[in-house]
Amino acid sequence: MHDATILDFEFEAHASPVADADRAALLANPGFGKVFTDHMVVIRYTADRGWHDARIQPRGPILIDPACAVLHYAQEIFEGMKAYRTPDGGASLFRADANARRFAESAERMAMPPVPDDLFLASIRELVSVDRAWIPESEGGSLYLRPFMFASETFLGVRPAQEYLYMVIASPAGAYFKGGAPSVTLWVSEHYTRAAPGGTGAAKCGGNYAGSLVAQAEAIREECDQVVFLDAVENRYVEELGGMNVFFVFEDGSIQTPPLGGTILPGITRESLLTLARDSGVTVREERYSMADWQADAESGRLREAFACGTAAVVTPIGRVRGRGMDFAIGNGGPGILTEQLREQLVAIQRGTAPDPHGWVERLF
């Protein structure tokens, strides 16, 4: 299959890749985001030539000019996805087409040229194939893929840049948590919001993260694990965490999550869990939920469980919520039953140990 938008990748093998024994030692306990594979993808864009010069090359530093536009005006977007080791030793991707689509939508919002979906997908497949030895075989392990692109033009004028670099790096990740994740305590940010209507909340851009870090630091100071943001207009409705969407589970067995609408990142884990829940006959609502209702429902027992979700940690139970003058537990403070069920169902599909009725899994080799 050869599409006009797929470039041929020039391959330059690493002259001294990590030795087998050293790689095995790194893979035994990779943690998250600290260990990287031998190669990376680089594709260039210029306004006159479009996307060109696609390469798989040894991973390493890149040289940029101090006037490189991204360093000044933050035209930058990224994705986060995983390659999994299949039970028979092969490898697969989960809903990579959705990451490609979202990357293109993030690009449009940031006035950047979208990477064609099939070029994005080809770049992912090429890198995973070249660095396949880096996909952990340990239970719960995966190869985390980080596609990103930034304005690489040397120019201080304020306008969309005319040159970009698209890159993909890969980082083996261990099981975030063995078995079910422990519950986290959330801090409700009173001063800071993550995204306003008309802003960049639905784009996966580094700037959203930069703006959330001070609130996350406040959460840590308050001895909480993660910050949860409320809406920027009324400061009442729950939106999401700095990098994860949020779900609520009620005593009647229904589940609810805040609706997309420009201020919430359209998580692929979120969408997958909504689909799995509907498949199992669970009543699902995408509706706003106020902080006051969350507290009242948790205290009355109407709300039974809450969890956060995203690619990195999949599903994280929320055990407690704290804020200025506010402190309440969810259920018994531990992981809820439906939370665990949904997590297990999703992980089983991702890892190829359960059927894949929606065609979400792409076998690579």
The verdict on 245 binding ligand PLP (CB under 6 A) reads yes
Which pair of structure tokens corresponds to residue 161? 């840049």
The verdict on 204 binding ligand PLP (CB under 6 A) reads yes
What minimum distance in Å lies between the beta carbon of 44 and ligand PLP? 25
The verdict on 273 binding ligand PLP (CB under 6 A) reads no
Among 30, 116, 243, 352, binds ligand PLP (CB under 6 A): 243
What minimum distance in Å lies between the beta carbon of 80 and ligand PLP? 5
What minimum distance in Å lies between the beta carbon of 120 and ligand PLP? 15
The verdict on 17 binding ligand PLP (CB under 6 A) reads no
What minimum distance in Å lies between the beta carbon of 265 and ligand PLP? 3
The verdict on 199 binding ligand PLP (CB under 6 A) reads no
Query: Between residue 297 and residue 336, which ones bind ligand PLP under the rule CB under 6 A?
Result: 310-311
The verdict on 147 binding ligand PLP (CB under 6 A) reads no
Site map 60..99 versus ligand PLP, x via CB under 6 A: --------------------x-------------------
The verdict on 106 binding ligand PLP (CB under 6 A) reads no
Q: Are strands 314-323 and 184-188 parallel, antiparallel or unpaired?
A: parallel
What minimum distance in Å lies between the beta carbon of 240 and ligand PLP? 5
Among 68, 230, 244, 246, binds ligand PLP (CB under 6 A): 244
3-class DSSP string for the chain? CCCCCCCCCEECCCCCCCCHHHHHHHHHCCCCCCCCCCEEEEEEEECCCEEEEEEEEECCCCCCCCCECHHHHCCEEECCEEEEECCCCCEEEECHHHHHHHHHHHHHHCCCCCCCHHHHHHHHHHHHHHCHHHCCCCCCCEEEEEEEEEECCECCCCCCCCEEEEEEEEEEECCCCCCCCCCEEEEECCCCCCCCCCCCCCCCEHHHHHHHHHHHHHHHHCCCCEEEEECCCCCCEEEEECCCEEEEEECCCCEEECCCCCCCCCCHHHHHHHHHHHHCCCCEEECCCEHHHHHHHHHHCCEEEEEEEECCCEEEEEEEEEECCEEEECCCCCCCHHHHHHHHHHHHHHCCCCCCCCCCEEECC
The verdict on 189 binding ligand PLP (CB under 6 A) reads no
What minimum distance in Å lies between the beta carbon of 173 and ligand PLP? 13
Segment interacting with ligand PLP (CB under 6 A) among 134-142, 225-233, 238-246, 316-324: 238-246
- 273 φψ region: left (φ > 0), alpha (ψ -120 to 50), beta (else): alpha
Among 124, 265, 315, 342, binds ligand PLP (CB under 6 A): 265
Among 131, 163, 225, 240, binds ligand PLP (CB under 6 A): 240
Rank residues 96 and 161 by Cβ distance to ligand PLP and give the closer one: 96
The verdict on 343 binding ligand PLP (CB under 6 A) reads no
Which residues bind to ligand PLP, rule: CB under 6 A? 80, 204, 240, 243-245, 265, 267-270, 310-311
